[in-house]
Amino acid sequence: MPSNRMREQKNISAPHKQLQKFFDAALIVPVLTAHPTEVSRKSILDAQHDIARLLAERDQELTPR
């Protein structure tokens, strides 16, 4: 089933058969990556957890009562 782009091939210099051959052989693989804001968000969350852990350790009593 040709896509809209294939139907509009008259605007492309390559012939329809050449384009069809290319797309038939093309390997299309999704690539999942983290958005830069997600990476920095995780870094911030990690830092917040580290700070919370350090504060909790500081608040522990040194000697039992």
- Render pLDDT for 5-61 as a digit per residue (tens, 0 to 9): 666 655 556 788 888 898 899 998 888 777 777 777 888 889 999 999 999 888 887
Contact 44, 36 (CB under 8 A): no
Contact 19, 9 (CB under 8 A): yes
* Rounded CA separation 37/22 (Å): 36
Query: How far, rounded to the nearest angstrom, does the alpha carbon of residue 27 sit from its chain's CA centroid?
Result: 19
